[in-house]
Amino acid sequence: MNQLVVETKNLNFSYSKDKKDIEDLELKVPKGSIYGFLGPNGSGKSTTIRLILGLLKKNSGTVVLFGELFNGQSRLKVLNKVGALIENPSLYEHLNAIDNLKISANYRQNISSSRILEVLEIVNLTNARNKRIKEYSLGMKQRLGLAIALLSNPELIILDEPTNGLDPKGIIEMRTLIKDLNKRFGTTIFISSHLLSEIEKTCTHVGIIRNGKMLYQDTVASLKESKGTNIKVEIEVDNPIEALSALKDLKMEHISLLDGFIQIEVKNKNEITEVIDILRAESINIYQVSIKNNLEELFLSLTEN
């Protein structure tokens, strides 16, 4: 079995007496993974991160980081191997990027000034290094927050909603950066997000949380398989009604019409060609054929029921 970098057992926490905010949470983050912590807003993702980092006092349960029980004695040793970006980055807006990084470097000690320039280069902020943070865009702030988390070359990076407020270009850059760090340095990365597409594109492992409870935890590949092997396809044609009756002859299940698009489930990709052939034989024009993401439905069914 893979070595675990983060492991929680029976983790319980409540902000108030009448509601459990985290309930018997068992988190298992394998070494070298990119772990996506997925859940709707308010499901307890940030609370869990704060519990892992010791910012909140757990009611019961244990947090083990790098095989070591997290407590008052091990706190400094364990946190030394962690870089974290918790929700909005903590930045001194009246200072520039260099000063902000210098502050974290001073606290951590043994961090050279060349490393400060290095992380600025990694997050692509070298040109803006002397600008005050109040002049930064949200995306730049998020990237500087990531640079601060990277500063000590940590073995584990915890990122709480790192793509929040980023534009599409920023999201792609962040995604590439995360994958690259994981690949080049073997850094374990723990990302929380409420966006399934983000997790699906970036992560190797996934944990789905709702109302403080873990609903599903495995590799992303297993999650995709767990929904069954059928592929959902959406087809746009010039005459949907006619197309639908043509396809009725096929012995395929789940054929329907949704918003003028034909929805059909096939067993494998070859069947998509068959469907196209039938439609073309009836002289129906096809404008687009796309495979639908069934993970989204799975996520909704997991988190909404």
79 binds another protein (CB under 8 A): yes
Q: From the CB of 153, what's the least distance to another protein, in Å?
A: 13
Nearer to another protein, 107 or 113 (CB): 107
Region binding another protein by CB under 8 A among candidate stretches 24-32, 101-109, 208-216, 256-264: 101-109
138 binds another protein (CB under 8 A): no
99 binds another protein (CB under 8 A): yes
Nearer to another protein, 31 or 81 (CB): 81
Does residue 142 contact residue 166 with C-beta atoms inside 8 Å?
yes
Nearer to another protein, 77 or 183 (CB): 77
Among positions 19, 59, 71, 92, the unique one binding another protein when judged by CB under 8 A = 92
Which pair of tokens denotes residue 158?
């915890």
Render the burial of 209-229: b for 16+ CB within 10 Å, e for the rest: bbbbbbbbbeebeebeeeeee
Q: From the CB of 210, what's the least distance to another protein, in Å?
A: 21
What span, in angstroms and rounded, lies between the C-alpha atoms of 114 and 282? Answer: 67
Q: Return the number of other C-beta atoms located less than 10 Å from residue 75's C-beta.
A: 13
Among positions 9, 31, 95, 244, the unique one binding another protein when judged by CB under 8 A = 95
Q: Return the number of other C-beta atoms located less than 10 Å from residue 125's C-beta.
A: 20
88 binds another protein (CB under 8 A): yes
Among positions 45, 50, 194, 205, the unique one binding another protein when judged by CB under 8 A = 50
Among positions 20, 31, 108, 179, the unique one binding another protein when judged by CB under 8 A = 108
What span, in angstroms and rounded, lies between the C-alpha atoms of 134 and 177? Answer: 24
Who's near 206: CB < 8 A, 6+ residues apart? Answer: 35, 36, 37, 38, 199, 216, 217, 218, 219, 220, 223
The gap between the terminal CA atoms of the chain, to the nearest Å, is 32
Among positions 2, 3, 73, 90, the unique one binding another protein when judged by CB under 8 A = 90
Binding residues vs another protein (CB under 8 A): 15, 50, 53-57, 75-80, 82, 84, 86-95, 99, 102-104, 106-109, 148
